C-alpha cells in the first residue's frame, strides 16, 4: 500500500473501560474463510462493533525509518473513516492527549467465495529519530490497543535485527515457537527480516491468517521487512507471460518502500538503517532490470555496511537444485555484489542451511580481500537434503533444523548468530571492517575497509 498522510487533528478522549474490557472481556472465536480460530484480536470495547475489529496490524520500515513509520491493517467489514493515531510517549500520563490523527488509505481485496477484506495503510511522517511512539488504528470509534515502536537513529549506531528463512508450511503450528524464541532471544531487535515464502499458497487468505496468528502481537511493535518468494507467485511452470504476477494478497498486507524499479514496487526496494543499506531483491521476475537498478542503488550508497536479500539463492545448497541452480541470478547479481563489495546476502528457498566463505568472482578470497558472505536459512519445518559437496565455497551446510538469525551491526563489526528453536547457537561468524584510509574520509568508508572473519 502507499501514500503519505500528514498528521492532523487531536485525540481528545480516553476510555478507561477499554482496558478493563480488554482484560476481562475474554477471547472470542470468529469464522473467517474456511477456518475458525481463536480471535484474540476482537476488541471488546463498548464502542467497538464486533463485526470490524482491526486485525493483521503490522509495522513496516520505510525508506527513512528515523522519520517515518508505516502501519497496515485490515477489517472484514468496511469502515468509512479508517484512521490511525500516534503520540510521543513520555513519562507523563497525559501523553495520550497529544495524539494526532491521520487518515488511512483503503483497499478492497476479494479473498475467496466473493468475500471482501478491507485493508488500510498509513505512514506516520515527521517523526523524531530515536524516539518512542505509541499508535493505534481504527475508525474513530473502534480502535486497536495502543502499541509502541521506536524510530531509528538518523546517524550510524549499533543495532540488531532478526532474519528468517522460509516459514512456508505449518506456519501456525510449527513456526510460532521459532518466532517466540526469536523474540525472547532478541527482544530489542530493531526489526525482523523475512526473505520470502511466508506462506505456501500466497493466494489463500487462510494461510495469511495462520502467519499473523503465529506472529501474534510482535508485528505491532517490531517493524517487519520482507520480500516475496516463489510461493507468493503462481507456479512458474504453469503460469506464463502476463499472467505471471505476484498474488494480489501481497501488497495489501504490507506498506513497503516504493523506491524500486517500475513494476516491482514493494517487492524490490532499499532501506538505510543506522549505517547499513538493506537491499531487497525479487528473484521471481525481471532480474535484468533489477541488476541495473541494484548497480545504481549501490553506486550511491553512503552506508558503511551493505546487506542484500533475495529469496532464491545465488549459490544453491540443496541437493535437488544443484544441477540447475544459480542461473541467471548468479550471472546478473554477483558481478554487482562483487563490484560494490556487498557484505552479506540473505537468502531462503532451499530449505537447508548454508553459509559461504567470503566470495568474489565465485571463489574464496584471502583474509585481506573484500568478499561477500551468502547465507541460506529456513525457519519452517519443511527441509530438503543439503548439498554438502561445495566445500570449495561453503563453510557450513546442514539441514533439518528450524532456525532464526540475530545479526548485530556495529560501525566496524557485524556479528551473526544462527539459533535453533531451543535458543541454542547453531552457527556464528563475525565480519570486521578496518579503515585503511585513515579517519573519516567523508564517504563513510563504503566497503573501503579491509574485512576479515
Ligand atoms: Fe521458495
Task: Flag the least confident range among 14-28, 287-301, 338-352.
Answer: 14-28
Residue 217's pLDDT is 98
Question: Is residue 42's pLDDT more than 80?
Answer: no
- pLDDT single digits (tens) 328-368: 788 999 999 999 999 999 999 999 999 999 999 999 999 88
CA of 283 to the centre of ligand 1 (A): 10
R_g of the chain computed on alpha carbons: 22
Burial of 247 (0-12, 13-18, 19+ CB in 10 A): middle
Question: Is residue 103's pLDDT more than 90?
Answer: yes
State mean pLDDT over 416-422.
Answer: 97
State mean pLDDT over 289-300.
Answer: 98
Given a contact cutoff of 8 angstroms between Cβ atoms, the answer to whether 415 and 433 are in contact is: no
Number of Cβ atoms within 10 Å of the Cβ of 7: 17
CA of 168 to the centre of ligand 1 (A): 8
Q: Return residue ranges of the chain for CATH 2.60.40.380.
A: 16-150
- Residue 335 and residue 361: Cα distance in Å, rounded? 7
Residue 121's pLDDT is 98
pLDDT, the chain, mean: 87
- Residue 196 and residue 362: Cα distance in Å, rounded? 24
Just give the CATH number of 159-452: 3.60.21.10
Percent of the chain scoring above 70 in pLDDT? 83
State mean pLDDT over 278-284.
Answer: 97
Residue 46's pLDDT is 43
CA of 242 to the centre of ligand 1 (A): 21
CA of 431 to the centre of ligand 1 (A): 27
CA of 330 to the centre of ligand 1 (A): 17
State mean pLDDT over 389-410.
Answer: 96
Question: Is residue 16's pLDDT more than 70?
Answer: no
CA of 353 to the centre of ligand 1 (A): 14
Higher-confidence residue of 81 and 452: namely 81
CATH topology of domain 16-150: Immunoglobulin-like (2.60.40)
Residue 446's pLDDT is 34
- Residue 194 and residue 423: Cα distance in Å, rounded? 19
Closest-CA residue to 416 (of 365, 373, 451): 373
Q: Which three cell numbers stand for residue 410?
A: 556495529
CA of 400 to the centre of ligand 1 (A): 16
Confidence label for 1 from pLDDT (cuts 50, 70 and 90) = low
Confidence label for 234 from pLDDT (cuts 50, 70 and 90) = very high
- Residue 381 and residue 378: Cα distance in Å, rounded? 8
In three-state form (DSSP H/G/I as H, E/B as E, the rest C), the secondary structure along the chain is CCCCCCCECCCCCCCHHHHHHHHHCCCEEEEECCEEEEECCCCCCCCCCCCCCCEEEEEECCCCCCCCEEEEEEECCCCCCCEEEEEECCCCHHHHHHCEEEECEEEEEECCCCCEEEEEEEEECCCCCCCEEEEEEECCCCECCCEEEECCCCCCCCEEEEEECECCCCHHHHHHHHHHHHHHHCCCCCEEEECCCCCCCCCCHHHHHHHHHHHCCHHHHCCEEECCCHHHCCCCCCCCHHHCCCCCCHHHHCCCCCCCCCCCCCCCEEEEECCEEEEECCCCCCHHHHHHHHHHHHHCCCCCEEEEECCCCCCCCEHHHCCCCCCCHHHHHHHHHHHCCCCEEEECCCCCEEEECCEECCEECCCCCCCEEEEECECCCCCCCECCCCCCCEEEEECCCCEEEEEEECCCEEEEEEEECCCCEEEEEEEEEECCCCCCCCCCCCCCCEEEC
Residue 19's pLDDT is 33
State mean pLDDT over 86-112.
Answer: 94
Number of Cβ atoms within 10 Å of the Cβ of 368: 10
Beta bridge partners of 195: none
- pLDDT single digits (tens) 141-198: 899 999 999 999 999 999 999 999 999 999 999 999 999 999 999 999 999 999 999 9
Closest-CA residue to 51 (of 71, 13, 78, 12): 78
Residue 435's pLDDT is 61
Confidence label for 325 from pLDDT (cuts 50, 70 and 90) = low
Q: Which three cell numbers stand for residue 271?
A: 532501506
Residue 452's pLDDT is 38
State whether the Cα torsion 140-146-147-152 is positive or negative.
positive
CA of 201 to the centre of ligand 1 (A): 11
Residue 400's pLDDT is 97
Beta bridge partners of 70: 60, 123
Question: Is residue 289's pLDDT more than 50?
Answer: yes
Question: Is residue 5's pLDDT more than 60?
Answer: no
Q: Which three cell numbers stand for residue 15?
A: 476510555
Residue 368's pLDDT is 87
Confidence label for 113 from pLDDT (cuts 50, 70 and 90) = confident
CA of 435 to the centre of ligand 1 (A): 38
CA of 197 to the centre of ligand 1 (A): 6
CA of 218 to the centre of ligand 1 (A): 24
State mean pLDDT over 90-116.
Answer: 92
Strands 69-75 and 147-150: unpaired
Beta bridge partners of 356: 394
CA of 165 to the centre of ligand 1 (A): 9
Cβ-based neighbours of 206, under 8 Å, separated by 6 or more: 32, 33, 34, 35
Confidence label for 48 from pLDDT (cuts 50, 70 and 90) = low
Higher-confidence residue of 422 and 39: namely 422
Higher-confidence residue of 193 and 451: namely 193
Question: Is residue 8's pLDDT more than 90?
Answer: no
Task: Flag the least confident range among 1-5, 201-205, 443-447.
Answer: 443-447
Percent of the chain scoring above 90 in pLDDT? 76
Confidence label for 20 from pLDDT (cuts 50, 70 and 90) = very low
CA of 350 to the centre of ligand 1 (A): 7
Task: Flag the least confident range among 127-136, 236-245, 264-273.
Answer: 236-245
CA of 166 to the centre of ligand 1 (A): 7
Amino acid at each position: 500500500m502507499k501514500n503519505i498522510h500528514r498528521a492532523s487533528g487531536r485525540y481528545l478522549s480516553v476510555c478507561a473501560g477499554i482496558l478493563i474490557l480488554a482484560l476481562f472481556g475474554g477471547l472470542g472465536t470468529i469464522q473467517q474463510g474456511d477456518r475458525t480460530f481463536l480471535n484474540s484480536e476482537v476488541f471488546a470495547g463498548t464502542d467497538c462493533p464486533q463485526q470490524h475489529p482491526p486485525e493483521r496490524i503490522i509495522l513496516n520500515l520505510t525508506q527513512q525509518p528515523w522519520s517515518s513509520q508505516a502501519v497496515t491493517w485490515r477489517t472484514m467489514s468496511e469502515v468509512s473513516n479508517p484512521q490511525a493515531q500516534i503520540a510521543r510517549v513520555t513519562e507523563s500520563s497525559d501523553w495520550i492527549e497529544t495524539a494526532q490523527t491521520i487518515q488511512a488509505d483503503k483497499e478492497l481485496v476479494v479473498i475467496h467465495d466473493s468475500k471482501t477484506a478491507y485493508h488500510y495503510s498509513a505512514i506516520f511522517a515527521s517523526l523524531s529519530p530515536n524516539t518512542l511512539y505509541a499508535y493505534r488504528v481504527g475508525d474513530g470509534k473502534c480502535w486497536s490497543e495502543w502499541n509502541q515502536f521506536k524510530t531509528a537513529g538518523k546517524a550510524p549506531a549499533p543495532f540488531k535485527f532478526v532474519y528468517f528463512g522460509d516459514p512456508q508450511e505449518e506456519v501456525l503450528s510449527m513456526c510460532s515457537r521459532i518466532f517466540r524464541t526469536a523474540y525472547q532471544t532478541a527482544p530489542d531487535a530493531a526489526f525482523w527480516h523475512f526473505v520470502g515464502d511466508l506462506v505456501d499458497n500466497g493466494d489463500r487468505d487462510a494461510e495469511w491468517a495462520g502467519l499473523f496468528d503465529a506472529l501474534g502481537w510482535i508485528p505491532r511493535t517490531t517493524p517487519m521487512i520482507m520480500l516475496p518468494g516463489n510461493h507468493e507467485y503462481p507456479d512458474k511452470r504453469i503460469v506464463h507471460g502476463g499472467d505471471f504476477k505476484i498474488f494480489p494478497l501481497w501488497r495489501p498486507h504490507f506498506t513497503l518502500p516504493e523506491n524500486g524499479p517500475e513494476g516491482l514496487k514493494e517487492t524490490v526496494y532499499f532501506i538505510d538503517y543506522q549505517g547499513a543499506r538493506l537491499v531487497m531483491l525479487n528473484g521471481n521476475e525481471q532480474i535484468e532490470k533489477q541488476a541495473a537498478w541494484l548497480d545504481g542503488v549501490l553506486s550511491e550508497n553512503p552506508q558503511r555496511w551493505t546487506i542484500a536479500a533475495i529469496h532464491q539463492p545465488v549459490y544453491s545448497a540443496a541437493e535437488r537444485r544443484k544441477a540447475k541452480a544459480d542461473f541467471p541470478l548468479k550471472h546478473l547479481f554477483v558481478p554487482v555484489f562483487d563490484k560494490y563489495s556487498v557484505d552479506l546476502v540473505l537468502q531462503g528457498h532451499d530449505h537447508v542451511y548454508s553459509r559461504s566463505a567470503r566470495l568474489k568472482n565465485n571463489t574464496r578470497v584471502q583474509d585481506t580481500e573484500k568478499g561477500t558472505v551468502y547465507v541460506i536459512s529456513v525457519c519452517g519445518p519443511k527441509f530438503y537434503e543439503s548439498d554438502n559437496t561445495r566445500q570449495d565455497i561453503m563453510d557450513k551446510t546442514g539441514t533439518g533444523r528450524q532456525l532464526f538469525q540475530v545479526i548485530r551491526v556495529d560501525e566496524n563489526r557485524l556479528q551473526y548468530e544462527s539459533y535453533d528453536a531451543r535458543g541454542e547457537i547453531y552457527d556464528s561468524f563475525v565480519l570486521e571492517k578496518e579503515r585503511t584510509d585513515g579517519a573519516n574520509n567523508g564517504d563513510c568508508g563504503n566497503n573501503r575497509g579491509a574485512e576479515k572473519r
